[in-house]
Amino acid sequence: MRLYNTFRHIGLSHLKARPARAVLTTLGVAFGISLYVAIAIINHSTRNSMRDSIDAVAGKARLSISAGIAGFPESRLEVIRVIPGVKSAVPMIEARAFFEGATESADGLQIMGVDLLQEASVRTYKATDQKIIDDPLTFLNQSDSIILTQALAAKRGLKIDDKIRLSTALGAREFTIRGLLEPEGAAKAYGGSLAIMDIDGARVSFGKENKLDRVDIVPRNGEDLNALQVRIESALGSGYRVERPETQSEQMERMLDSYQLILTFFSSLALLVGLFLVMNSISVAIAERKREIGTLRALGATRSLMVALFVSEVVGIGFIGSALGCVLGKGLAHRMSSQITTSVAAQFQMRIEISHLEFTVSQMIFTLLAGTAAAVIAAFFPALRAATIHPLESMRRHSESLDPVETRRSNLQVLLGILLLGFMSLSMIFSWGKLWIGIDLMTKASAVLGAALFGPFLVLGLLRLTRGLGANLSFPILRLAQENLLRSRKRTGANVMALMVGLFLVMLIASVRSSFHDTLTQWLDRIFVADIMVGSNGRFISGDVQAIQDSILPELLSVPGIKPIGADRGAATRIVPYFYEGKKMAIKAIDRYADFYRFQNIPVTGSDRTRTALDWYESAEPAALVSRGFLTNAKKKVGDHFELDSPGGKVSFRIAGEIVDYASSQGVIYLDRKVYKKFWNDSLVTVFVLNLESGTTFEQVRTEIAKRLGKKWNLVTISNREFKDQMQSAVERSFAYTRVIETIALLVGLLGLLNTLLISVMERTREIGVLRAIGSTRIQISKMILFEAVIQGFFGACVAILLGAYVGRLFVEYALTEQLGWIIEYHFPKQSVWMTIITGVLVAALAGIWPARRASGLEITEALDYE
């Protein structure tokens, strides 16, 4: 009751008297929470969608058998069917198809070629008119029959009996829509970007005659799954993966774990900036109300009551801010979801379509409580400090700079900041985060907290260093602003902290982005030396391209202006995903054309390129070049042997060397395409690389290829430059979502600075009154406040660049390798430096406008009377 009365009469009246501060602090919490909520929603929905997709495709199957992208012989189905315990064994062909003209993965379609005469035993479908196929006899006998999901048909304005053209392994093909599915059962998979074909039609269209990609097993009732799995494995021999659907889910989720952790880290930073705002707001409020605190304490208010008073003022702000954050977060999740799935696809070659964004009531309640609690915790420490102030001390007026307690605190803060940054550095370098996830989280939190605590000290240092500069400039207002900032270190530190953390985040993200971008660009420049690339529809950059038969190579080489590469004139590459010990890796099967380029296109590292490449090509035993990711995950070294499952059984490869390749962070395996074809019996090609005869222009060749082969094969020809541009834009797209994080962090930083500037103007009312009384004009006061803001923005940005680049470097060189498997070189984000400074100054100037107006609007007499 005592707290209630104190809050009602004192706390509430302060909130009412300072509505702008309350609103700004609430908005700060709201923005911070919104990003956290958005990322939480997307992470949760991504996992759910992935799980749903796997479950939907698995249907009633409890085991599924596969053997990699090349599939396995259809005849194995009869072996599987007679294994004791198998009730149903239902085959499937899986393929990707692309709508004609597609250049993006979004225009891709997952094809499930299923045995419609057996499907009922494993998967269910629901058609829009209760019949999936109007005429099954026609459907089954025509290889152009296809069933689309209702969602996809609606998106593309298609209906039953319409024709669509898709790129297939055999070139461009026309398909007839003979059924539409409602989003139930298997049709929910892949976010509806799914088409069902009968298995025979799919085989013919996608070059998989007499093959199967997968067999789903429904066991007999009461069958022991483990025992059945063992029976199947021993019946089929090596080269086959027998998995439960939940295992597939777990594997995919494990891959996502680290990525989502990084997303959460970024979003937590924005939340942290919001909490700094709360902390600052309360800290400054305490400074402002020091006399009041002293009076209350002198009147008998206990320390705990004082803590409770300040904390209670924040409860409402925290709750309303969190509620607003939930609403904003949901909107933000809609905006960011496609950007994040694009990024995931680029990182893991994993296509996830988020079917719906889910924000459950329990998640909302948790967010409200956690947001409020976080705001309360943020307010607790300054409140505790207020409670420890002695009444006598509270009543005394003294300069902050002379306060030994404040000085001690300030020194402690700097020391703590340095310790946290030190811990973070050591933890990243020595991978302590691997020991326990808690250490990993602490490491990341230390980076931000360390920067936030240590940063203001650096800003003050820079201010001191440039003190003389202001004096020399003969610009009295600038000098005055500089002196003001130096005189009130605590206030300056508080002002700078929120904005600086926002800018620090911008710089950290810029470091990661720039490192990815520059590493990939330089790598591409080094290895991609051919003039043109020819493939079918899809995204060249990710290898998500409709594979085509290599038999078209002679036709390609007959196009005037094309110069063959290599001894076999062939220059084809096949890129296929491959699961090695549960990790999704990539196999790149490359024709031998490296000699032509003096092996420049084989990115060997750590040994002589030519010798290693020749050893690889000419090895008597099957040999491979592998990336660092593979070596790390497989725990192998150059010279070791490893086995790959092929449709014909296990094949042992000698590791002839290490290469640098970014097709998969988990590992890339280079094989000679001859060797790959021999063991995998797969003659499909992802892309052809070719050169141009001198005197021939790229456009001439592109036109000629389109004329001769384009229509038949849906061929796409791109130049070396275009491919590199695609890579650049792919990196941009992969990081597109970080723009939102940066914007939110800056917005919260802006609100934080605006809030603290407003408070500092209020705190300095009397001082401003004196300045006005001794002749300063309103414009000069306004300029002074603006200068103060801009100086803080500028130096805050400088320190953010310094700390952001440092933490960014550690992040790129250690954390990314550790968590995502990427081995990339750190590249300082030069272009972001000016952008960060300009952003810092602009944001600070923007935040300073209102306080400056407010300061210049003060009446002298009122200001001098202000207590």
Partner 1 sequence: MNKHLIRISLITSLIPAFSWSAQAETALEIMKKNEEVRKVNEFESRAKLTTGNSAEKTEKVKEFTFWRKVQADRIHNSTLTRFHSPAEVRNEGILILENPDGKNDVLLYLPNFKKTRRVESQQQSGSFMGSVFSYSDIATPHTSDYLYKTLRQEKCPGAEHASVQCHVIEALPVNEDVLERTGYSKSVVWVRTDNFMAVKGEYTNAQGELFKRLEAGQIKMVDPKEKKWLAHFLSIENLKTRDYTRLLFSNVKVNGGIADAVFTQQNLQKVR
Could you say whether residue 168 binds partner 1 (CB under 8 A)? no
- For partner 1, the closer CB: 196 or 204: 204
The interface region with partner 1, picked from 129-137, 226-234, 301-309, 659-667 by CB under 8 A, is: 129-137
- Residue closest to 668 by CA, chosen among 703, 633, 638, 700: 633
- Out of 38, 102, 133, 508, the residue judged to bind partner 1 by CB under 8 A: 133
Please, are residues 813 and 820 in contact by the beta-carbon 8 Å criterion?
A: no
Write out the binding residues for partner 1, residues 60-89 only, by CB under 8 A. 88
Contact partners, residue 727, CB within 8 Å, separation at least 6: 520, 521, 524, 541
DSSP per residue, 114-136: E-TTTGGGT----BTTS-S-S-H
DSSP per residue, 631-687: HHHHT--TT-EEEEEETTEEEEEEEEEEE---S-SS-EEEEEHHHHHHHH---EESE
Could you say whether residue 140 binds partner 1 (CB under 8 A)? yes
Q: Least distance in Å: CB of 111 to partner 1?
A: 17
- Out of 2, 75, 117, 381, the residue judged to bind partner 1 by CB under 8 A: 117
Write out the binding residues for partner 1, residues 252-271 only, by CB under 8 A. none
Contact partners, residue 354, CB within 8 Å, separation at least 6: 42, 45, 46, 49, 191, 337, 341
CA atoms within 13 A on the CB side of 368: 13
Could you say whether residue 159 binds partner 1 (CB under 8 A)? no
- For partner 1, the closer CB: 148 or 352: 148
Site map for partner 1, 182-221, x if CB under 8 A? ------------------xx--x-----------------
- Residue closest to 120 by CA, chosen among 193, 186, 74: 186
605, containing H or E segment:
strand 604-605
Type of residue numbered 31: F
Residue 569 φ/ψ, nearest 5 degrees: 60, -5
The interface region with partner 1, picked from 114-122, 292-300, 359-367, 810-818 by CB under 8 A, is: 114-122
- For partner 1, the closer CB: 185 or 577: 185
Q: Own/partner pairs for 76-85, CB < 8 Å, 24+ apart?
A: 76/212, 76/215, 76/236, 77/212, 77/215, 79/235, 79/236, 80/215, 80/217, 80/232, 80/235, 80/236, 83/228, 83/231, 83/232, 83/235, 84/231, 85/219, 85/220, 85/223, 85/224, 85/227, 85/228, 85/231
Could you say whether residue 119 binds partner 1 (CB under 8 A)? yes
The interface region with partner 1, picked from 112-120, 367-375, 494-502, 679-687 by CB under 8 A, is: 112-120
Could you say whether residue 50 binds partner 1 (CB under 8 A)? no
The interface region with partner 1, picked from 103-111, 135-143, 340-348, 766-774 by CB under 8 A, is: 135-143
Q: Least distance in Å: CB of 123 to partner 1?
A: 11
- For partner 1, the closer CB: 214 or 702: 214
Please, are residues 232 and 72 in contact by the beta-carbon 8 Å criterion?
A: no
Could you say whether residue 129 binds partner 1 (CB under 8 A)? yes
827, containing H or E segment:
none
Could you say whether residue 134 binds partner 1 (CB under 8 A)? yes
Contact partners, residue 212, CB within 8 Å, separation at least 6: 71, 72, 73, 74, 76, 77, 91, 92, 93
Type of residue numbered 100: E
The interface region with partner 1, picked from 116-124, 150-158, 543-551, 628-636 by CB under 8 A, is: 116-124
Number of amino acids touching partner 1 (CB under 8 A): 24
Q: Least distance in Å: CB of 45 to partner 1?
A: 34
Could you say whether residue 143 binds partner 1 (CB under 8 A)? yes
Could you say whether residue 128 binds partner 1 (CB under 8 A)? no
483, containing H or E segment:
helix 476-487
Could you say whether residue 131 binds partner 1 (CB under 8 A)? yes
- Out of 4, 75, 120, 401, the residue judged to bind partner 1 by CB under 8 A: 120
- For partner 1, the closer CB: 131 or 721: 131
- Out of 13, 138, 411, 861, the residue judged to bind partner 1 by CB under 8 A: 138
Question: Hey, what are 541's tokens?
Answer: 């950059």
Q: Least distance in Å: CB of 148 to partner 1?
A: 18
Please, are residues 97 and 166 in contact by the beta-carbon 8 Å criterion?
A: yes
Could you say whether residue 696 binds partner 1 (CB under 8 A)? no
The interface region with partner 1, picked from 134-142, 388-396, 685-693, 801-809 by CB under 8 A, is: 134-142
Residues that bind partner 1 (CB under 8 A): 88, 90, 115, 117-121, 129-131, 133-138, 140-143, 200-201, 204
